[in-house]
């Protein structure tokens, strides 16, 4: 089943975030992933507050998503990610 990685983004350094985004894109594509959403929080309609930014990445399955996240290519840019923003990565398997 398809897997989605939701990335909650709390930016710290805009220039570093742009560098991270450019560096992460090929690592995602190498595992068959694709961004299906990138956006800024507009308004919380109900419930708890959330991160100001959200990205959603689709992979063919959970294994591909986990393989991407653990890959040496992605892990090499984690220090840049940590300078750029505080991020949470949440993995979902789609239902049907």
Of 1, 9, 89, residue with least CA distance to 51: 9
Strand partners, 57: 5, 35
The answer to pTM > 0.85 is yes
- pLDDT, tens digit only, all 96 positions of the chain: 999 999 999 999 999 999 999 999 999 999 999 999 999 999 999 998 889 999 999 999 999 999 999 999 999 999 999 999 999 999 999 987
Of 90, 88, 82, residue with least CA distance to 20: 82
Distance CA 33, CA 13 (A): 25
């Amino acid at each position: 089943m398809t897997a989605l990685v939701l990335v909650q983004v709390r930016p710290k350094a805009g220039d570093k975030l742009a560098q991270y985004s450019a560096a992460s894109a090929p690592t995602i594509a190498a595992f068959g992933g694709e961004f299906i959403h990138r956006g800024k929080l507009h308004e919380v309609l109900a419930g708890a507050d959330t991160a100001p930014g959200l990205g959603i990445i689709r992979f063919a399955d959970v294994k591909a998503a986990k393989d991407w996240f653990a890959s040496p290519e992605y892990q090499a840019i984690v220090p840049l990610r940590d300078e750029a923003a505080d991020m949470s990565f949440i993995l979902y398997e789609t239902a049907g």
